[in-house]
Structure 1
């Protein structure tokens, strides 16, 4: 093999590797994870320090949509190569009512929505539909002060409010001593399903902090 041919082969291999590293193939996944974040806790941990508009008193954000994430049996795709155009500012702004901010909507499209094989408009529509399918327990909105509680109480409340869900189909996460999120596993048709083993990582805290609606 000549030096020129070897050089061309190396360049071709490097180009292929770079393309693969840029993102995985859109549309190749097994199910969805719907992530719901308790906004007051996020604000206490991170949002206040960022002076986030989401944390303004009086907005009343509770369980906000963090994202709808395509999931593999193990692991998940992210930052996929897609022919779909990115969302417009108007499109992400319309998601702020359930996500807290347009910036989060943009990030979720870039990292997760790009892997669904959907257009940005269809991804956000599906995200809204998935969010609306999960009933939020009303008990948490009635809190008037911060409390400490077992993470299992949050899971039980969601199971009671959503009889079609099963214990292995959702998980509660904690971060920095706070209840962080409830993650619900849904099929590609948005039907409840059992989560993969890498998603079921229930918080075992018995005294996690839960702060009230602002």
Structure 2
């Protein structure tokens, strides 16, 4: 099922969500040398309700009603992760390429940042990395519970994870983690092999939010 902007609202905090573990050393920043991907799906209403959202009209304008959007596809190791790798590809993603992905990543600022920090470590070209990101997003069936959020909902982190597992029966429980911003749903992070099959990821799972009362805000 193709990931699409659900009409429930989702804004992407491109600089706020942290990766899992610690950055690897400079010697380990070889593009393409990593263990798996983390697909990060950001719940936009949480970002848009923050002070940062006011500076992101592409994602949080009054006419924008995103729900889950793609924060990024992150090369990850079993311990730590590479970032800002040296590549022959340009640092800037051209508008002519990036705008093709606004349905899942709604701003050039987000797309450019994700390429520089994460895509540069994938061993792929810009076009290949963005295509891989769309392919990864299309692997995920979004739970119907998140399709029409009209009022704030309160769920446990485990309940959110289980809703994704029910919608994606091949997903192991150790392949998904919920990230919270305070008590609000921030992101859902899903671990995928390099060929985009679900895979366990102990460090990512261990770093996930575990609180029993996670607020899922609706779009403004």
When normalised by structure 1's length, the TM-score is: 0.85
Specify the SS of the correspondent of 1:143.
Answer: coil
Contact 2:175-2:205 at 8 Å conserved across structures: no
Deviates more, 1:94-103 or 1:59-68: 94-103
Q: Does 1:104 align with 2:120?
A: no
Q: Does 1:170 align with 2:170?
A: no
Following the alignment from structure 2 to structure 1, what is the Cα–Cα distance between the partners of residues 168 and 178?
15
User: What is the root-mean-square deviation in Å for CA atoms of aligned residues?
Assistant: 1.9
Deviates more, 1:53-62 or 1:178-187: 53-62
Q: Does 1:26 align with 2:37?
A: no
**How far off its partner does 1:176 sit?**
2.2
Q: Does 1:137 align with 2:151?
A: no
Q: Does 1:85 align with 2:90?
A: yes
Q: Does 1:122 align with 2:128?
A: yes
Mapping for residues 15-94 of structure 1, pairs under 5 Å: 21=26, 24-86=29-91, 87-94=93-100
**How far off its partner does 1:89 sit?**
2.0
Q: For each residue in 1:126-159, what CA deviation from the matched residue of structure 2 results, as whole angstroms up to 9, or x when unmatched?
A: 0000011101112112221112221111101100
Deviates more, 1:37-46 or 1:65-74: 37-46
Structure-2 change in CA distance of 1:166 and 1:106 (3 Å) = same
Q: Does 1:150 align with 2:139?
A: no
When normalised by structure 2's length, the TM-score is: 0.82
Following the alignment from structure 1 to structure 2, what is the Cα–Cα distance between the partners of residues 23 and 79?
11
Q: Which structure's residues are more often helix, by fraction?
A: 1
Name which of 177, 186, 195 aligns with 1:189: 195
Structure-2 change in CA distance of 1:174 and 1:213 (3 Å) = same
Structure-2 change in CA distance of 1:23 and 1:94 (3 Å) = farther
Q: Structure 2: which 5+ residue stretches go unaligned?
A: 1-24
Aligned pair count reads 195
